[in-house]
């Protein structure tokens, strides 16, 4: 019987960057458009999402899980928590962190304040 591969140690996974992926073609277009308009802002957000997508200590009001009915989203057949990061006074990025696969699924990018979160 083949041996099951050993799980990585917590210290190994903590330093490993997360993959950043669009959850849809629409999310990819929104990300590219926002990157063209605000390249430095989006580059900084990309780096933050790759290294610490669930970290809230730098500004807890800017990064948090959304409230129902937006609190979860189906991505690739899995129900994942949906978070938002405030990228500007009105701009928001919605994303679903998949802890199992260390993947951040970007679900929406708005440079203006989305009405659903009011």
Provide the pLDDT for residue 116: 60
Q: Could you tell me which of 117, 21, 4, 9 has the C-alpha nearest to residue 65?
A: 117
Q: Could you tell me which of 82, 67, 80 has the C-alpha nearest to residue 118?
A: 67
d(CA 26, CA 30): 6
Q: Could you tell me which of 92, 94, 96, 50 has the C-alpha nearest to residue 75?
A: 96
Average pLDDT over residues 4-12: 46
For 77-96, what is each residue's pLDDT tens digit? Answer: 999 999 999 888 788 999 99
The CATH number that applies at residue 68 is 3.30.2310.20
For residue 75, what are the domain limits? 18-52+62-117
**pLDDT at residue 2 greater than cutoff 80:** no
User: Is 81 inside any structural domain?
Assistant: yes
For 10-46, what is each residue's pLDDT tens digit? Answer: 444 557 899 999 999 999 999 999 999 999 999 999 9
Q: Which phi-psi region, left, alpha or beta, contains residue 102 (left: φ > 0; alpha: ψ -120 to 50)?
A: left
- Would you say 19 and 97 are in contact if contact means Cβ atoms under 8 Å apart? no
User: Is 8 inside any structural domain?
Assistant: no
Sorted by sequence, the CB contacts under 8 Å of residue 51 that are 6+ apart come out as: 17, 18
Sorted by sequence, the CB contacts under 8 Å of residue 13 that are 6+ apart come out as: 102
Predicted TM-score (pTM) of this structure:
0.81
User: Is 57 inside any structural domain?
Assistant: no
Report the number of distinct structural domains present in the chain: 1
């Amino acid at each position: 019987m083949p041996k099951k591969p050993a799980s990585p140690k917590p210290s190994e996974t903590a330093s490993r960057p997360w993959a950043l992926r669009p959850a849809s073609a629409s999310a990819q277009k929104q990300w590219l458009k926002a990157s063209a308009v605000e390249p430095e802002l989006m580059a900084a957000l990309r780096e933050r999402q790759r290294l610490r997508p669930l970290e809230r200590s730098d500004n807890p009001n800017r990064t948090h899980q959304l409230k129902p009915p937006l609190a979860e989203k189906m991505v690739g057949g899995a129900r994942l928590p949906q978070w938002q990061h405030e990228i500007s006074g009105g701009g928001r990025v919605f994303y679903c962190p998949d802890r199992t696969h260390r993947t951040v699924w970007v679900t929406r990018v708005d440079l203006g304040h989305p009405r659903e979160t009011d």
